[in-house]
Amino acid sequence: MAFQPWRALPGRGVLILLNLFSAVALVYEGYNQGVYGNVSGTPGFIAMSKIGYQSMVTKTTKQGGLAAAYYFGAIFGGFIGGWFGDKFGRKKGTFTGAVLSLIGSALQCGSINSNMFICARIIAGLGIGFINVLIPSWVSELSEAHDRGSNFSLVFVSNFLGIFLANWINFGTRNSDVNFQWRFPLGFMCIPMLIVAFTVFFIPESPRWLMANHRRSDAIDILCKIRGDKNISDSAILKEVELLEAVVEASYHKRNNYLNIFLGGRYSGKLHLGRRAVLGLALQQIQQWTGILVMVSWATKLFELASFDSYKAAWMSGLLNTFGVIGTAAAALVVDRLGRRKSLQISFVIQGLSLFLVAALIKTSQDRVTSNPSESRALGAAGSAFTFSFVFFFTMFNIVPCWIYGTEIWPQEVRAKGYSFTILGWAIGCGMTTFVIPIMLANIGWWAFIFFGCMNVVVIPIIHFFYPETAGRSLEEVDLLFTSDSPLVSMNMAEYDRRVAEAGGNIAVAARMLLDEVDGETNLDPRRFSIVSVEGGQVKTRADMSYVEKIE
């Protein structure tokens, strides 16, 4: 038997351990996003990559391209990682991603020219593609419906903690040797991935993945453990097992391959997998184009536009991202209570207003640098204050819904694979924005904030009309939210109500009937899917007992 130290912990302790492990993995992703903006402006890095001279960046297109190479790797890493995680398990997939990220980070630290740095960024991107597609899915699978959002938000604090660390490490090394200024911050990225690679095999596999891969006894054993050392006959466990059983038979259906989903889910029928791929991808695109990366990755440049000197701009950048950690923790208080849709709408309104005010105040500050220096500094400080409101409310209302939504909308048997499309959206969005942001700031300055502010206005109706609410619903129940042929939320909710009513109010039965309908099995009695006994530590359903009764 494999070494399983987690069995010595109480059930809730195992769940906490799993969340801590996930948090360490996500520190890397946040750190990588936050570290490059400042590192790429140091004299040593500029000399190595040949993007300018001394402390002056003159090739902003190349600067952006070096940043975007990381996300180019993540595009492929997400799809490969999704397939790998569904086939071989979350643990093996996460280990593979950790090793790739570790190698890529070490090579970035040791780069001697821009070509080597690009290759290193792509390798690190492949690794983070694995991590980003598997860790959020894993966290979502371990959580219960009523607290999935708050549980996810507490884990996702680590993502902004990584950005926080990147900014303060950059600030702390600013007066060091010119090579240490950029090599140490990049080398520090190795630490979280070393921890992940070393500890991943000492934690339990996802019970949902085990169930989908026909390892029922192992799945139920782990499920009972993480739900608080419950007995297999506990009603809550029986209900959760029943919901899991409702989707297991679909694990190897042809509708779940990448090509089918990419082509719009032609074999998925009423499951509409193609639509879910578009929603997950689009939501990440929305998040990246509403201004967050200009705040966290290029915050120092932002404060310099507000007429602050380089020292003050550097420590304010660190302080700004400290607020992000606090805001992400606060998300646990609202993301399940308000739901995903309302949280996103609140964030877009506040973010848009903040960006418009930042642009107006920075513009006014720059106009008065010569004529009225004291008033210019006051206006710059006022503009900077609204960057803090942007980051705080973004992390409290936006970051968690955007990331968790893509894990919630997929059936279990294809969750990691389907989430790859969400990671594709993230990688494309981040890659494009990190590429254009330094060019925008260098050429149009404060107008960049007007552009991102307008993007917040544009996306509000998109969320309202096309994104169903997933908060408080089991992951299996979510299948029922996409059954209408119309993409509109109102039509899908009407169809949801009809199907649940038809199943006598039993959501598990409604979910199974939906799968049977998609598979062409529409004449089976709903009673066959209910749990009838627990024998010898095994949950028995009528389907297990070959009970099939045609509806007369």
Question: What confidence tens digit (pLDDT) does each residue in 50-95 have?
Answer: 998 877 888 888 888 888 888 889 888 888 887 888 788 888 999 9
Which secondary-structure segment (H or E) carries 56? strand 56-57
Q: Is the dihedral of CA 257, 263, 268, 270 positive or negative?
A: positive
Assess contact for 475 and 414: CB atoms under 8 A: no
**Token code pair at residue 295:** 């705040």
Q: Is the dihedral of CA 478, 480, 484, 488 positive or negative?
A: negative
Which burial class, exposed, middle or buried, applies to 150 when counting CB atoms under 10 A from its CB (0-12, 13-18, 19+)? Answer: middle
Assess contact for 129 and 165: CB atoms under 8 A: no
pLDDT of 166 higher than 80: yes
Assess contact for 482 and 271: CB atoms under 8 A: yes
The C-alpha atoms of residue 132 and residue 120 are separated, in whole angstroms, by 18
**How many other C-beta atoms can be found within 10 angstroms of the C-beta atom of residue 311?**
11
Assess contact for 325 and 161: CB atoms under 8 A: yes
The C-alpha atoms of residue 302 and residue 312 are separated, in whole angstroms, by 12
**Token code pair at residue 450:** 């007007």
Place of tokens 């946040």: 30
pLDDT of residue 112: 93
The C-alpha atoms of residue 404 and residue 400 are separated, in whole angstroms, by 6
pLDDT of 451 higher than 90: yes
Question: What confidence tens digit (pLDDT) does each residue in 259-312 have?
Answer: 777 777 677 888 888 899 999 999 999 998 998 887 776 677 777 776 777 777
pLDDT-derived band of residue 539, with 50, 70 and 90 as boundaries? Answer: very low
Cα→Cα distances 11→62, 239, 365, Å: 50, 18, 56
Cα→Cα distances 476→283, 328, 411, 412, 508, Å: 21, 27, 6, 7, 8
**Token code pair at residue 345:** 């709408």
Assess contact for 121 and 108: CB atoms under 8 A: yes
Query: Angle CA(73)–CA(413)–CA(248) in degrees, nearest 5?
Result: 165
Using DSSP bridges, classify how beta strands 531-535 and 538-541 pair: parallel, antiparallel or unpaired: antiparallel
**How many other C-beta atoms can be found within 10 angstroms of the C-beta atom of residue 441?**
20
Phi, psi of 445 (to 5 degrees): 55, -120
Assess contact for 325 and 368: CB atoms under 8 A: no
The C-alpha atoms of residue 141 and residue 219 are separated, in whole angstroms, by 12
Helices (H), 200-309: 207-212, 216-226, 235-248, 258-262, 273-288, 292-296, 299-305
Q: What is the DSSP string of 146-164?
A: GGHHHHHHHHHHHHHHHHH
Question: What confidence tens digit (pLDDT) does each residue in 218-235 have?
Answer: 888 888 888 878 888 888
Q: What is the DSSP string of 476-508?
A: TGGGGGG-SSS--HHHHHHHHHHHHHHTTT-HH
Q: What is the mean pLDDT of residues 151-180?
A: 82
Tell me the β-bridge partners of 228: none
**Token code pair at residue 288:** 């990246």
Assess contact for 360 and 265: CB atoms under 8 A: no
pLDDT of residue 260: 75
pLDDT of residue 506: 84
pLDDT-derived band of residue 545, with 50, 70 and 90 as boundaries? Answer: very low
Cα→Cα distances 5→193, 200, 210, 215, Å: 21, 12, 19, 20
Rounded percentage of the chain residues whose pLDDT exceeds 70 = 86
Place of tokens 């209910």: 530
